[in-house]
Every structure is written in structure tokens, then in C-alpha cells.
Structure 1
Amino acid sequence: MRKALALSLLALFLGGCASNPADRDISGTWINQVAIDAASKGVPLREALQTYGPNLEWDVNTKAGQARYTNGFENVEGKLLGEESGAWKVDFYGSSSSELKRDGKQLSQSATENEAAQVFDRALIPVPEGAPIGASFERALYSAYMGGSWKILSGPGEGNTVQFQADGQVTGLPDSDRYALCLAGDCASMSGGNDNMWLQFNGQGSPWIFTRKGKELEIFQAVNRAQADEMPSFMPGERKWLLEKQ
């Protein structure tokens, strides 16, 4: 009798561990690490975002019943409904819905008619308090994709060491103190499928086309081929810089 009771208690204990609420909790910030890893390994940035996107970051608050995501172009807020069989449904106020589920250390977003299934990892790089949604993904991308030291092999400032910081600051690149990679939206639609970035100095800036192959980064002038009354259409012009990662 005592042995049977002990086995029952053990089963109850193990069952409780297996269904630990902490293992199913989806609260927090989750980023599209798969897209970041693909770009860092050599896939063109636009291609990586399109293949493993479109969503870049989820921010979930189960206590408040809120969930929101960004795809780099729009920020969408929804109502988080109760958990059922380990899945959480997010209702976007009657227009559409998504299903989220914790799978170990990852957050899975189920496929819908409009979007493929996606997976997200917890954001690890801290962002300033009050930072907009998407900041965690952006910092993680900038750190992995642009981080480290680069040397200018040709172009203005040849021989300089350039560093692209996770917060969007850049040092060592002449006439540039800030940068931003194009993730989605108008900057993507106007670049003809090319990867592009924004470089600015003292608050004034312009778009540039870039290509990254292995440790080499080429930055080209963005030439607008559109007419004055048309949406800008940027194509790569003369190469301005060739950088190599050290």
C-alpha cells in the first residue's frame, strides 16, 4: 500500500514538472533569430528576411492579455486569448488571428493562409527602456551582421577601421555617424531587390546600396532611375567603399 502511494505521489510530482507553467509561458520579447543567422552566414539580407519572415519580433504580455508584432514596416497589436492545449491565440480585433506556442526555448507561430510558420528566440541583447518594438531584433541583427571591426580597403578613409555599433552608431566611415539597414517598407520597395542602408552625418543622410559577400562589404551610391513624378527607384551606381571584416 505504501509502495503504491509512493509511486502515485512520484507520478504526480513528475506530471507537475512536465506541465510546469514556466515552460509554457510566452511572455517577453522574441526575435526572428533564424533570419539573422541566415544573413550572417551569407544569404543576402532582403532574401533572408523574405524567406524566414515576414515577422521580425513579437512582444507578449500574458498577464495583460496583450501581444504585438512588427514586420519592419507595420506594428500590429492584438488581444491574447487564453491558453488551450499549450497554444495561445492572438486575436487582431476580428480582422485576423495568429497562434503562438512555446516549444522549449523557442516560440512558434503557426502557419496561416497569409503567412508561413515561423520560429522566434528570446531576445538577449538589452534595449533602452521605452524602446519601440523591433529594437531588440534590430540590435541583434546589427550586432551579428555588422558587428566587429572592418577595414576600408578602398574609398574615402582608406585604411580606417570602421565599427558599426548595435545601436546604429558608426565610427571610422568618413562623413557618417549613424546607419540603419533597410528591413522592409518603402526603402525595400524602392531598391529593386537590392540590400540598402541609410547613412547620415549630423542629422543629414541618404540611401546607399550594399552587397556583402563573406568578409567583404561593398557600398555603392544609390542612383535614382525614376522620373521626377514617379516613386524613386534606386539602383547601384559607382562603388564608394570596399570594406573587409577583420
Structure 2
Amino acid sequence: MRKALALSLLAVLLGGCASEPAPRDISGVWINQGAIDEAAKGGNLREALLANGPNLEWDIDAKNAKANYTNGFEWVEGKLTPGHKGAWQVAVYGSSAIELDVQGAELVQAASDADPQQTFVRTPLKLSSDAPLGTNFEYALKAAYLGGQWRVISGLGQGNTVTFMPDGQVKGLPNNNAYALCMAGDCASMSGEYDSLWLQQDEIGAAHIFVRNGNRLEIFQALDSAKPDEMPQLYPGKQEWVLEKQPAM
């Protein structure tokens, strides 16, 4: 009788362990596709990122228990451990644990006191494995937000065809061969309510304010209202270019 009872208890315990699903392997790079899709509608860039963020990319290595993410201006390192019901927990120094779970083809970051729920998809890009954290999101964002061909309808180089490349090169915009979109951090603090980008020719560049409205992109000089000992506060000055996105062939 005692033997039968012991076997019965053992079966219950083993059954309970078996009922807890093992976490799925979530290793790889995941990007915030919702933020990219919202930005691709052609409105205010930072509003689109904030509405679907703040986190933009996860880089996860389950084998080595690492899970790092970026929100566009800082890289955060975390330790990955199995959680409950097939989920994972990411311990971040000085913060509460973050819960991650795979639901279908999406990686879901659970809502917390600090952040809303956010969803990510595996990056479709084939970048180098040593690409800095955030590069996959940045490339995908640039392709979605500024991809295709643009025509200069006002400003220097009127009539030119302009192409913004995902790697940060720009072709056809006079006196510029590189650009960078401001997503967060100091550049966002300096431009306040405005979207900004950096335009550069070789080693010389400057911040600019831009306004995107559907297929129309206006680029302005960035003027500074701050005092010399204050952080720059940028606002739009003279309009330098108006670009119009061309229909896809």
C-alpha cells in the first residue's frame, strides 16, 4: 500500500514537471516592426517610434544567457533565464525583470510598470553577425521611411533624383553623401518637437530639421535658440529642399 502511494505521488510530481512547457529558443536579432510600419505611413518619425516603443531591437543569445536591447540611445545588457509557462526573464541591473515570450512569429515583451507591451519580429536582414546592436532596426527603418526615389522639386539640385540608402549613404542631394535619422537621445532633446536628421559631405556635416507629410519631405536649416552655455535647442530656419517621393516603377 505504501509502495503504491509513493508511486502515485511520484507520478503526480513528474506529471506536474512535464506540464510546465520548456521555453522556446529565442536566440537571434528581433526588431520592432510595429514602429517601422507606423513610420512608413509617412508622418512624424519620433512620434511613430514612441507610440510603438520605446525599445527598438533585441539581440538574444540563449546559449550564453545574454539578452541585450537598445532604445535608440542606450544599450542595455541583461541576463536571460527561463521563466514560467514557456516564457523567459531578463534581469537588468537596477531594474525589474523583463518578461519575453514567443507568440506565433512574434517576440512579445510583456507590459511592466516602466514600459508598455511591445512586439518584435526576427530581422529579415542578413547583416554581419558583429553589426552593432540597433543596426538591423536602423537599416530596416531607413528603407521603410526613406526608401525609393525622391525628386528635388525645390532647392539646390532641382530636378535631381535622390536616393537614401539603408546604410546611411545619400545620392543626388547636392553637397551631401551621408545622412543619419535622429531616433532618440541627445539629438531628440535638442530638436524638441521637431524631427531632425544629420546631413554630411565627407567629414563635414550639420543637423537639419525635417517635416515628412506623406510623399513630401521638407528639409530646413537648423537654427539654435540656446545660449552658448546651454544644450542646443534647434528649430527650423530657411527651407533648403523640398523632395517628393516618386511612384514605384
Shared fold, TM over 0.5: yes
Shift of residue 130 of structure 1?
1.6
Looking at structure 2, the residues matched to 86 and 135 of structure 1 have their Cα atoms a distance apart, in angstroms, of 29
Residue-by-residue CA offset, 1:190-241 (whole Å, 9 max, x unaligned): 1021110001011211100001111111001000011111110000111100
Shift of residue 96 of structure 1?
2.5
User: What is the aligned partner in structure 1 of residue 164 from structure 2?
Assistant: 164
Identity of aligned residues (%): 55
Matching residue's letter, 1:92: V
Query: Any runs of at least 4 consecutive aligned residues in structure 1 with deviations exceeding 6 A, and if so which?
Result: none
Shift of residue 43 of structure 1?
3.3
Residue-by-residue CA offset, 1:111-161 (whole Å, 9 max, x unaligned): 111111100111112223421000000000001111111000010010000
Question: Normalization by structure 2: what TM-score?
Answer: 0.88
Q: How does 1:141-220 map to 2 (within 5 A)?
A: 141-220=141-220
Looking at structure 1, the residues matched to 54 and 235 of structure 2 have their Cα atoms a distance apart, in angstroms, of 24
Looking at structure 2, the residues matched to 127 and 189 of structure 1 have their Cα atoms a distance apart, in angstroms, of 30
User: What is the aligned partner in structure 2 of residue 230 from structure 1?
Assistant: 230
Residues 169 and 178 of structure 1 are in contact (CA less than 8 Å); yes or no, is this contact kept in structure 2? yes
Equivalent position SS for 2:108 = strand
User: What is the aligned partner in structure 2 of residue 243 from structure 1?
Assistant: 243
Structure 1: gaps (5+ residues): 1-18
Residues 22 and 85 of structure 2 are in contact (CA less than 8 Å); yes or no, is this contact kept in structure 1? no
> 1:104 aligned to 2:104?
yes
Looking at structure 1, the residues matched to 46 and 55 of structure 2 have their Cα atoms a distance apart, in angstroms, of 13
Looking at structure 1, the residues matched to 56 and 130 of structure 2 have their Cα atoms a distance apart, in angstroms, of 18
Matching residue's letter, 1:241: W
Residues 79 and 93 of structure 1 are in contact (CA less than 8 Å); yes or no, is this contact kept in structure 2? no
Residues 66 and 79 of structure 1 are in contact (CA less than 8 Å); yes or no, is this contact kept in structure 2? yes
Looking at structure 2, the residues matched to 27 and 129 of structure 1 have their Cα atoms a distance apart, in angstroms, of 13
Shift of residue 56 of structure 1?
0.3
Matching residue's letter, 2:105: K
- Count of aligned pairs: 227
Looking at structure 2, the residues matched to 237 and 76 of structure 1 have their Cα atoms a distance apart, in angstroms, of 36
Equivalent position SS for 1:84 = coil
Q: How does 1:1-246 map to 2 (within 5 A)?
A: 24-93=24-93, 95-246=95-246
Looking at structure 1, the residues matched to 126 and 211 of structure 2 have their Cα atoms a distance apart, in angstroms, of 28
Looking at structure 2, the residues matched to 100 and 203 of structure 1 have their Cα atoms a distance apart, in angstroms, of 41
Residues 46 and 195 of structure 2 are in contact (CA less than 8 Å); yes or no, is this contact kept in structure 1? yes
Residues 42 and 145 of structure 2 are in contact (CA less than 8 Å); yes or no, is this contact kept in structure 1? no
Residue-by-residue CA offset, 1:19-66 (whole Å, 9 max, x unaligned): 797xx3211111111011111113311101111110000011111111
Q: Per the alignment, do residues 20 and 111 of structure 1 end up closer, same or farther by CA in structure 2, a change over 3 Å counting?
A: closer
Residues 182 and 198 of structure 2 are in contact (CA less than 8 Å); yes or no, is this contact kept in structure 1? yes
Matching residue's letter, 1:26: I
Residues 152 and 243 of structure 1 are in contact (CA less than 8 Å); yes or no, is this contact kept in structure 2? yes
Residues 22 and 86 of structure 2 are in contact (CA less than 8 Å); yes or no, is this contact kept in structure 1? no
Matching residue's letter, 2:208: W
Residues 43 and 214 of structure 2 are in contact (CA less than 8 Å); yes or no, is this contact kept in structure 1? no
Root mean square deviation of aligned Cα: 1.5
Looking at structure 2, the residues matched to 37 and 43 of structure 1 have their Cα atoms a distance apart, in angstroms, of 11
Matching residue's letter, 2:160: N
Structure 2: gaps (5+ residues): 1-20
Deviates more, 1:135-144 or 1:38-47: 38-47
Q: Per the alignment, do residues 20 and 116 of structure 1 end up closer, same or farther by CA in structure 2, a change over 3 Å counting?
A: closer
User: What is the aligned partner in structure 2 of residue 14 from structure 1?
Assistant: none
User: What is the aligned partner in structure 2 of residue 13 from structure 1?
Assistant: none
Q: Per the alignment, do residues 20 and 229 of structure 1 end up closer, same or farther by CA in structure 2, a change over 3 Å counting?
A: closer
Shift of residue 245 of structure 1?
0.6
Question: Normalization by structure 1: what TM-score?
Answer: 0.89
